[in-house]
Structure 1
Amino acid sequence: MSKYLILCVDDEREVLDSVIQDLDCFEEHFLLEAAESVQEAKEIIADSEQNEIKLALILCDHIMPDQTGISFLIELNQQESTKPTRKLLLTGQAGLEDTVEAVNHSSLDFYIAKPWIGDDLRDVVKEQLTDYMIENEPDLMPWSSFLNTEKIFNAVAKKRMNFGE
């Protein structure tokens, strides 16, 4: 299986630790990284790309000191290597205008409000990763055991039907 990265970005260490703890169930199949700033996130992404590790999903806070989460997600959406990445905003402070801007730039796949519930966060991440794999991974079967099995089987069946035409 190819290597894929889940990146969590939040300038508050306690929040970041909590998100990582909630998502540690994905560590068996994905690299799980944390960044306390957009700059640190950019460094992690650059290192990953050098090692041929694709950024599958980014979970980003909005209000941060150097750059807002939404402007960062828009920036990622404009780069060829990170355009397919599933982009989630995890925040309690993004205003409607900011969120609409992200949606209009196709830079936001999901919005999660703080405080979040761990099970709900895991469910959203699982669905987003499933969608990412269906869109970007040619060999889906290995992913069916821990992502959305039914969705993956349906995608495999659809690919087989299209291949047969």
Structure 2
Amino acid sequence: MEKLYIICVEDQKEVLNTIADQLSYFENQFTIEECETADEAYDLINTIDQKGDKVAVVVSDHVMPGTTGVDFFVKMKLEDRFAGVKKILLTGQATHTDTINAINKAKIDNYIEKPWTKGELIEKVSKLLTRFIIESGIAYEPYTEVLDKQTLFDLLKVR
């Protein structure tokens, strides 16, 4: 069975540790990886893809040195092999234009403003993981413990 990943991208180590700690809720079914830059995350995603595993969700800050979160997501969007990856922009400093670009150009799946709550992050990631699993044709049964039940029901009802 292929490994499924959740990638966290944040240049502030303390914030990155908080995100990863909160997402440890999913660690029995998904591998959680931490990256401090968009370039590091892109390299990791390429490595995961080359191994035949899948990135399910990426949670990225927007304002980082080098490449911004929006530019990182746009770069991912341009590659068909990452089409199914669910993207969450987590930021407190995005401008109105940044937000529009994130939606229109990067096709983000969700936007979370800093500060956020653990419950909010887990809920949004759970819903996106559920969509990823069903849309990818992966058997959902091994993951039901952490999938969003209402989203799962709605998606299965449509099929």
TM-score range, shorter chain: over 0.9
Q: CA offset at residue 148 of structure 1? A: 1.6
Q: Distance in 2 between matches of 1:88 and 1:150?
A: 20
- The residue that corresponds to 1:52 in the other structure is 52
Relative to structure 2, which stretch is displaced further, 125-134 or 85-94?
A: 125-134
Give TM-score, length-normalised by structure 1.
Answer: 0.89
Identity %: 34
Q: Distance in 1 between matches of 2:107 and 2:154?
A: 26
Q: CA offset at residue 136 of structure 1? A: 1.0
SS of 1:145 mapped into structure 2: coil
Q: C-alpha root-mean-square deviation of aligned residues, in Å?
A: 1.5
Unpaired runs of at least 5, structure 1: 160-165
Q: CA offset at residue 156 of structure 1? A: 3.4
Structure with bigger RCO (C-alpha 8 Å, 6+ apart) = 2
Higher gyration radius (CA): 1
- The residue that corresponds to 1:78 in the other structure is 78
Mapped contact 2:73–2:106 kept (Cα < 8 A): no
- After superposing on structure 2, the runs of 4+ consecutive aligned residues of structure 1 that deviate more than 6 Å are none
Number of aligned residues: 159
Q: Distance in 2 between matches of 1:51 and 1:4?
A: 11
Q: Distance in 2 between matches of 1:95 and 1:50?
A: 35
Unpaired runs of at least 5, structure 2: none
SS of 1:55 mapped into structure 2: strand
Q: CA offset at residue 157 of structure 1? A: 4.5
Question: 1:88-107 counterparts in 2 under 5 A?
Answer: 88-107=88-107
